[in-house]
Amino acid sequence: MIDIEQNVWGFTAEGEAVILYKMTNSRGASVSLTNIGAGIVSIVVPDRDGKMADVALGYATFDSYFEDGPCMGKVPGRFANRIGKGRFTLDGKEYRLAQNSGGHHLHGGPKGFQNKVWNSRVETDRVVFALLSPDGDEKYPGELTVEVCYDWSEDCELEITLYAKTEAPTIVNLTNHAYFNLRGENSGSVLDEQLQLNASHFLWYDQGCIPTGELTPVADTPMDFRRPKPIGQDIEADYEPLKIGAGYDQCWVIDGYEKGKISDVGYLYDPVSGRKMVIRSTQPGVQIYTGNYLQGCPTSKSGREYDNRDGVAIECQGFPDAPNKPQFPSAVLRPGELYQQTIIYRFETD
């Protein structure tokens, strides 16, 4: 049985209650969540010796979670990642969205889902967040109803299920934007931790981090994580995608993807602590962002400022700019359809 505590973390200037939920299993491992952006605040799991540490980056105060650059631990939307020039055409009509990242649209715009206070509730041993996004919200078409369900198991498996329904044709791409450091969120650089991805291709980006549409083989490039290697091994290589992102900030294409099927994405492993995070998902891609611009973010829960590359975001999602790339898996959602995606982070030790 999972124990769930619920406390008021504070109140917004508008008087909205910010709730903090803590889900704890019988091993004492826990996940803390907030209704700001339906976000992950902490993940406390044991190392190989049973010592607990918080492996998810986060902030000291609830108000820091609003309008932060890193989108720390939250669910961005309606469309996670980028849409080129903030424009897309659906059923013959062009929609123009905010250009909030170098002339492009990022994470649903300035008032995206990550900056909203969601409705929230406890359902037996899970936490559910719900949001109603009205027609025209950030200039997206259609009234959209969204739910994000978090389940935490006795085996330290965090399952995130993302649902959406719409009243009119629209586009949707949801994920979670947690940053991980398996040695502990206050332990410094994540570059020595090993990453493995079941991905033979990645999406080539232009200078604005918008996919060209080309699926590029990872073989013989610094983007090859088919066998585990330290994140930092090739991060400074003289390679165009790494220069564009100031490190890793690309979307990999999951091998064997089938719509609606859970696939093995890969894993993150820390040889010092013995912690391993196994990732599975129904999504076609995974964005790996090595926190190249974390410096300058709000004060962390450890009381210091994170440095660049102190954490890695592993965001299972649809492909960026999919509305403008007909060859990519579609991001279109229509009335009567159910958007349903699953992301699983399973924490183990060697």
What is the CATH classification number for the domain harbouring 345? Answer: 2.70.98.10
182 beta partners: none
Confirm whether 201 is a catalytic residue.
no
Measured CA to CA, the distance from residue 334 to residue 172 in angstroms comes to 10
What is the dihedral sign for C-alpha 75, 348, 199, 234? positive
Q: What is the pLDDT of residue 202?
A: 98
Confirm whether 105 is a catalytic residue.
no
The two counts, helices (H) then strands (E), for the chain are 1, 26
The tens place of each residue's pLDDT in the chain, 350 residues long, gives 899 999 999 999 999 999 999 999 999 999 999 999 999 999 999 999 999 999 999 999 999 999 999 999 999 999 999 999 999 999 999 999 999 999 999 999 999 999 999 999 999 999 999 999 999 999 999 999 999 999 999 999 999 999 999 999 999 999 999 999 999 999 999 999 999 999 999 999 999 999 999 999 999 999 999 999 999 999 999 999 999 999 999 999 999 999 999 999 999 999 999 999 999 999 999 999 999 999 999 999 999 999 999 999 999 999 999 999 999 999 999 999 999 999 999 999 99
Which residue's entry shows tokens 């769930």?
Answer: 4
Provide the domain limits for residue 123.
3-349
Q: What is the pLDDT of residue 300?
A: 98
Core vs surface per residue 83-101: b (16+ CB within 10 A) or e: bbbbebebeeeebebbbbb
Q: What is the pLDDT of residue 38?
A: 98
Which of 177, 185, 193, 201 does the annotation list as catalytic? 177
Q: What is the pTM of this model?
A: 0.97
Q: What is the pLDDT of residue 174?
A: 98
Closest CA to 325 of 85, 69, 83, 81: 83
Q: State which amino acid sits at residue 212.
A: T
* Rg of the chain taking only CA atoms, in angstroms: 19
Number of domains in the chain: 1
10 beta partners: 18
Q: What is the pLDDT of residue 213?
A: 97
H/E stretch holding 250: strand 249-253
